[in-house]
Chain A
Amino acid sequence: MINTIWLVLLGGGILVAGFQCLGIDYSSASGLVMDPSFEPLTILTKGLFDSAKASVTLAMGLIGIMALWLGLMKIAEESGLVKLFAKAVRPILVRLFPDVPPDHPAMGAMVMNIAANMLGLGNAATPLGLKAMQELQTINKVKDTASDAMAMFMALNTSSVTLIPATVIGIRAAANASNPAEIIGPVIVATGVSTTVAILTIKALQKLPRFKLEVPEGEEG
């Protein structure tokens, strides 16, 4: 599916820009004439290069914050704090992630990531989430394919379990909204619906033959 979407986004974008270069001229026989400026395609090309550059800037910007949180997480792991966090919500975790051993460090990292998401702490959530993915990868049987636990964790993250949408409240406060925080109630309802749908869909889809995890011979267990 990601291959198709990628193709549609990139290929569709290029085709749309290309078609915009075709100015319609009713006096010509074919009804079409090329726009000599080719401006849509020039804008597109510039946009492509800008996006490629921006990806590296984004990744570089992550280095410092990643290092900070991975360092702190290492302390929390060695002191046993991560395990304490995981223990507190174990009944929920074992249902969501039946394939992950309850004492595995992945559980603690996932709990901390979800807690950071709930509080709207984006800067902490991403490094903690990546840490959790690394831990999940250690118990993944097929290294280039998402495990059931990874897919569930991803879905929880993309559906965003938010209690305090800090960024958008900030924007509204800056714009002098009469009550910047009034959107919290609606946000909790909407995010609750999307998270429920995410969990149910993951559980339903992971059994379908189309998405079934294929473990190669000899790598079982």
Chain B
Amino acid sequence: MFQGIINGVSAIAIPLLMLTIIIHGRYKQVKVYEVFTEGAKEGFDVAVRIIPYLVAILVAIGAFRSSGALDILTGLLTPLTSMIGMPGEVIPMALMRPLSGSGAIGIVSELINTYGADSLPARMAAVMEGSTETTFYVLAVYFGSVGIKKTRHALPAALLADLAGIISAVLVTQIMFG
């Protein structure tokens, strides 16, 4: 039932928003087609403008992953994370989540395949996936699209929030499913 409602909301939200925009536009006598194309023109520029920022971030993250540095960091963190009740299997997820969206999805799928969807590590990783974002990607794309190079306090605040989100995910999952 609940699952059905969620699927319904996800399916309806975008078409409904689009319909609202064009109907309201028409009602307010906006020349919808002409105005649409005028706005859409900027799409290309924005996408091209973020390329240098994306290359910088994704190459650095790629180096960290493919070299095995991420695995070494995982090993170093194990004694610390076991103190808050985070199983070792979930550490790669916590480290990967802010770095790579597809990498994090890959880890969730792997944990589900290995331990089962209803196991503690798989549930914990799923909660992390749902409750935090790919911080470095968002930072590169959002700031890159308007040419911001000096990010000031945005990154430390975002990383601290990620840490808080991940610790909460561990604790809440332990309380509810542990």
Contact = CB atoms under 8 A, between A and B. Distances in A.
20 contacts: A13-B64, A43-B66, A48-B59, A51-B58, A52-B59, A58-B54, A66-B47, A67-B44, A74-B39, A75-B35, A134-B46, A145-B150, A146-B150, A146-B154, A154-B138, A158-B162, A159-B162, A181-B2, A194-B165, A202-B153
Interface of A: 1-2, 5-6, 9-10, 12-14, 16-17, 20, 40, 43-44, 46-48, 50-52, 54-56, 58-60, 62-68, 70-76, 78-81, 119-121, 123-124, 126-127, 129-130, 133-134, 136-137, 140, 142-146, 150-151, 153-155, 157-160, 162, 164-169, 171-173, 175-181, 183-191, 193-198, 201-202, 205-206, 208, 211, 213
B60 interface: yes
Given A81-B24, A121-B14, A2 B50 contact: no
B10 A154 contact: no
B154 A151 contact: yes
Given A40-B68, A59-B51, 20 more contacts: A1-B156, A12-B63, A47-B62, A52-B55, A59-B47, A62-B47, A66-B43, A67-B43, A67-B44, A78-B25, A121-B10, A130-B141, A145-B150, A158-B98, A159-B132, A172-B126, A175-B117, A191-B165, A201-B157, A202-B154
A154 B169 contact: no
Interface residues of B, number: 98
B139 A178 contact: no
Contacts of B77: none
Nearest to B129: A168
Interface of B: 2-3, 6, 9-10, 13-14, 17-18, 20-22, 24-25, 27-28, 30, 32, 35-44, 46-48, 50-51, 54-69, 72, 98, 105, 108-109, 112-113, 117-118, 123, 126-133, 135, 138-139, 141-143, 145-158, 160-162, 164-166, 168-169, 172-173, 176
A132 B134 CA distance: 19
